[in-house]
Amino acid sequence: MAIIVFLLLHWYLSLFGQTFYLHRYSAHKMFTMSKFWEKFWYMYTWITQGTSYLNARAYAILHRMHHAYSDTQLDPHTPHFFKEAFTMRK
């Protein structure tokens, strides 16, 4: 039971880091923060996401491409133009 609680908590903490730091801060610049807090959230997101962590700059670039080319062949997030939706391979 403890492992399930740990995994669920870790998953939600990871989602929060992606939503708060990578999406709202890095991709959309919805707010500003000091260098200390930027480094803190960078480390937080890096720790909680582990091997699936994507650099904040790279995340912002891919996300902005997604908005610019939504549901076209240039959209890096859409599964419409990929044979495998899970790996996003052509």
Average pLDDT, the chain: 83
Domain span including residue 35:
2-53
Tell me the whole-structure pTM to 2 decimals. Answer: 0.68
In a domain, 18, yes or no: yes
Q: Which pLDDT value is given to residue 67? A: 79
In a domain, 75, yes or no: no
Q: Mean of the pLDDT values across residues 34-54?
A: 90
Q: Which pLDDT value is given to residue 56? A: 80
CA distance 56 to 45: 9
In a domain, 8, yes or no: yes
Give yes or no for a contact between 60 and 27, defined as CB atoms under 8 angstroms apart.
yes
Q: Mean of the pLDDT values across residues 29-57?
A: 89
The position carrying tokens 């610019």 is 68
The total domain count for the chain is 1
Which residues face 89 on adjacent strands? 84
In a domain, 74, yes or no: no
Task: Judge whether residue 80 has pLDDT over 80.
Answer: no
Q: Which pLDDT value is given to residue 81? A: 67
In a domain, 64, yes or no: no
In a domain, 27, yes or no: yes
In a domain, 87, yes or no: no
Give yes or no for a contact between 75 and 66, defined as CB atoms under 8 angstroms apart.
yes
**Cα radius of gyration rounded to whole Å, the chain:** 15
In a domain, 15, yes or no: yes
The token pair that represents 26 in the structure block: 């890095």
**Helices 2-17 and 35-49, interaxial angle, to 10°?**
140
Side chain identity at residue 77, one-letter code = H
- Return the higher-pLDDT residue of 80 and 12: 12
